[in-house]
Structure 1
Amino acid sequence: MTETLGNGAPETAATAVAAPTALLRFATAGSVDDGKSTLVGRLLHDSKSVLSDQLEAVSRASQERGQKAPDLALLTDGLRAEREQGITIDVAYRYFATPRRRFILADTPGHVQYTRNMVTGASTAELAVVLVDARNGVVEQTRRHAAVAALLRVPHVVLAVNKMDLVGYEEPVFAEIAEEFGTYATSLGVPEVTAIPISALEGDNVVAPSAHMDWYSGPTVLEHLETVPVTHDPTDDPARFPVQYVIRPRTAAHPDYRGYAGQVASGVLRVGDRVTVHPSGRGSTIEAIDALGQSVDLAWAPQSVTLRLADDLDISRGDLIAPADADLSPTQEVTATVCHLHDRPLQPGDRVLLKHTTRTVKALVKDIPSRLTLDDLSQHPAPGRLAANDIGRVTLRTAEPLPLDPYHRSRRTGSFLLIDPADGTTLTAGMAGEAFADADTPVAAAADDEGWDF
């Protein structure tokens, strides 16, 4: 639970870093067979975060496959299909702790057809570990994962050059890969890259320093994870509160109770704050905040609370409560960078549902101006469509105004999903760029009479 300081203000990022139980969310990514699951298994095993019965189960499974030593990758590859194929096809979440820090780890798939899972795993991460096979160097999927990490604005990236034991632990091999990846990451705008040479199978530089690479004097993977500053504090962001549910108990004790329940997406809200409800634009004052059945004076991200306002306003699920002076202008014209996740291409004219926080509205794909070419980071103009795993720019027209923040300002309220209205399939993950309102748009003329006329 987040603590408060003596003055009643929420704990700061600096205080959180200093605390022995500070939490770091991180994700692993890399090409197939680069050793992600083995690295995660080695981290869990060597940091004593594996229960004895789990290790026994892994040992039995390894023996059944004819392996003499326990295959630590099986600690994360829990699905039968994954174990049979020897690859990760789903995001495996693991929770572990050391005396210095708590961790939530997302082990994401490496195969190109599961890039969407990498987007899911990295969307809330504060650090991404990108693995590279020392024998193969930087490959297309490495660049794709680096681009996704940059797109999702993951603040810290670790390049783990794995399988150094298979290249004789040679420093020039590591140096060449680190330089190539660093140059590429810098061109993407990644703010920080830490390169570490490792052998996940042998345990070199994962938890304990390697005896085979005396030329490397940097931290091990675990040392870096334990000490990297978690610089972003969600309470530093502008306050945003998406309404999930309206509570009207209508009991004798509370005949006029009207509360708006949800999770504080970012920032801090206090009793007495003037707020505006979006997209309606109506204003009011926070009269009370209820948390866990008790009234409190303030709430901060990511607490789940109920707000009570001084005025009876027409508020429902999907509305967004923000400070009255917030720089927020709901718009129906959305420009964004997206990663397309579905096998069915995304094309101009497609009718979709756009899910933003707790609000879902109808939308129309107006245009796809460009697609990112990963080899040289050039923009391919007017691609006509986005195929699975493509990253590109789109413009959308929504049926109702949306209070979107730019993604660089808020990862929570600047992101959205595009959904197939026919079967509810997730099609695309989007990050809002520069949004603008434009009422004079020809999109409405292209819509038919199936309720998409906006």
Structure 2
Amino acid sequence: MSTDILRFATAGSVDDGKSTLIGRLLFDSKSIFEDQLDAVERTSRGRGEEQTNLALLTDGLRAEREQGITIDVAYRYFATPRRTFIIADTPGHIQYTRNMVTGASTSDLAIILVDARKGLQEQSRRHAFLTTLLQVPHLVLAVNKMDLVDYSQERFEEIKQEFSAFATKLDVSDLTFIPMSALNGDNVVDRSINMPWYDGPSLLHHLEHVHIASDRNLIDARFPVQYVIRPHRAADPELHDYRGYAGQVAGGVFKRGDEIMHLPSGLTTRVAKILTPDGELDEAFPPMSVTMLLEDEIDISRGDMLCRPNNQPEVSQDIDAMVCWMSESRKLTPRSRLLIKHTTRTAKVMVRDLLYRLDVNTLHRDEDAADLSLNEIGRVSLRSTQPLFADEYKENRLTGGFILIDEGTNATVGAGMIVHAD
């Protein structure tokens, strides 16, 4: 199984050319079918457009096509000989902040598009902040529509300097700038002959070669138990005592023979076997889904955690977190009662306090805020009825992230990133 999958999100203001860029990537990497291309060419001609409108490849929802906007998170898949890619095409409008949070939360890389004519917009800054809040490890600022500023190096450098200055306020670990024209294909898949002054890679070359293996936390061993496998009344007598623990490795490396600790009991044992549908493994690491067999019988159930005795997550009922509120029908207020889904554990929580609401455009903290409404982000303290086995989100996005659920409707109403557990 090839594990080299790059997940990336695209974000930008309206008309910055996200859909055209994705269409160009799919088209130039030969990842679309001829009938798809024929349909797009027919629609383009019907609209009286001179060039094939590649944006139509991605704006798949009819409502989006009619309005000329992207309103939902659309996932696209394509592959080159080097890598497989999953694109989360996220909307640019402020009222779709929750959609962007959804798309970027699992991404390895984010591409923020900027129109070379307009330069940095408020939305560009907001998207940059959100991608860093969500700890997306790699950021690309794609300065698009360079053909409309005569491929000006001076204009590119202006935008680059302005964004670099803004990025100093953010937690950006890897930032790349690429000048391009998605419409004409400059620096998207192939290097542009129109910008000889630019000596960096094309966007696809960067996506194929950006190093993501070290982004995953391979130090802190974490295995949230998703399911306990007990083959009852098995025909094979050897399976009568079989007890396997299935789940996805959320951090670190687990090897056969390793000493591990079970939470919440604190009991220790060793890994006897690591199994997959393809057979037995010597070791498992993120994001592999495996079944572990242990040497000793311990009472383990869904929502429990396996870790190292000398490297444990915080075990706490009290957490501080940044929360993006996603509900249209209710607000987040102190004393709100909700469900939290953290790794494989679900528990009841109460909002103890709303510490501040964050203006994602100015980064100003409003400490007098009484509530969070749809698409607003704030820092909250939560009290859970059960202990959570948590890491800070900046250390591990899987054990540091959670969702909040409305008990009455079962709807997801918030997404959170743990800042601190105590």
* TM tier relative to shorter chain: over 0.9
Q: AA paired with 1:315?
A: I
Q: Deviations over 1:64-98 (max 9, x none)?
A: 44434321112111111211111112222222222
TM-score, with normalisation over the residues of structure 1? 0.87
Q: Deviations over 1:401-444 (max 9, x none)?
A: 000111121111111111111112212211111211xxxxxxxx
Cross-structure match for 1:280: 265
Cross-structure match for 2:14: 32
Determine the C-alpha separation between the residues in 2 that align with 1:216 and 1:303: 39
Determine the C-alpha separation between the residues in 1 that align with 2:55 and 2:111: 16
Distance 1:213 1:298, change over 3 A: closer
Contact 2:226 2:245 in 1 (8 A): yes
Q: AA paired with 1:166?
A: L
Cross-structure match for 2:42: 60
2:395 is equivalent to residue 409 of structure 1: yes
Cross-structure match for 1:383: 369
Unaligned runs of 5+ in 2: none
2:72 is equivalent to residue 87 of structure 1: no
Equivalent residue in structure 1 for 2:196, among 214, 219, 222: 214
Determine the C-alpha separation between the residues in 2 that align with 1:387 and 1:177: 33
Tell me the CA shift for residue 231 of structure 1. 4.8
Tell me the CA shift for residue 293 of structure 1. 6.4
Unaligned runs of 5+ in 1: 4-21, 437-454
2:311 is equivalent to residue 326 of structure 1: yes
Q: Deviations over 1:121-162 (max 9, x none)?
A: 211212110011223222222111111110111111111111
Q: Deviations over 1:255-311 (max 9, x none)?
A: 121111111122221222222222333333222222216333322222221112233
Cross-structure match for 1:290: 275
Distance 1:191 1:172, change over 3 A: same
Cross-structure match for 2:23: 41
Within-5 A mapping of 1:298-313:
298-313=283-298
Query: Larger deviation: 415-424 or 204-213?
Result: 204-213
Distance 1:396 1:235, change over 3 A: closer
Cross-structure match for 2:359: 373
2:224 is equivalent to residue 242 of structure 1: yes
Cross-structure match for 2:93: 111
Within-5 A mapping of 1:156-175:
156-175=138-157
Q: AA paired with 1:352?
A: L
Determine the C-alpha separation between the residues in 1 that align with 2:314 and 2:82: 42
Q: AA paired with 1:77?
A: D
Equivalent residue in structure 1 for 2:235, among 252, 256, 265: 252
Cross-structure match for 1:441: none
Query: Larger deviation: 382-391 or 402-411?
Result: 382-391
Q: AA paired with 2:265?
A: S
**Aligned pair count?**
418
Contact 2:126 2:361 in 1 (8 A): no
Determine the C-alpha separation between the residues in 1 that align with 2:80 and 2:276: 30
Contact 1:279 1:402 in 2 (8 A): no
2:348 is equivalent to residue 348 of structure 1: no
Determine the C-alpha separation between the residues in 2 that align with 1:34 and 1:124: 23
Tell me the CA shift for residue 2 of structure 1. 5.6
Q: Deviations over 1:300-359 (max 9, x none)?
A: 222221112233322221111112222323100001122222233311111111110111
Equivalent residue in structure 2 for 1:226, among 195, 201, 208: 208
Q: AA paired with 2:313?
A: L
Aligned CA RMSD, in angstroms, stands at 2.0
2:376 is equivalent to residue 400 of structure 1: no
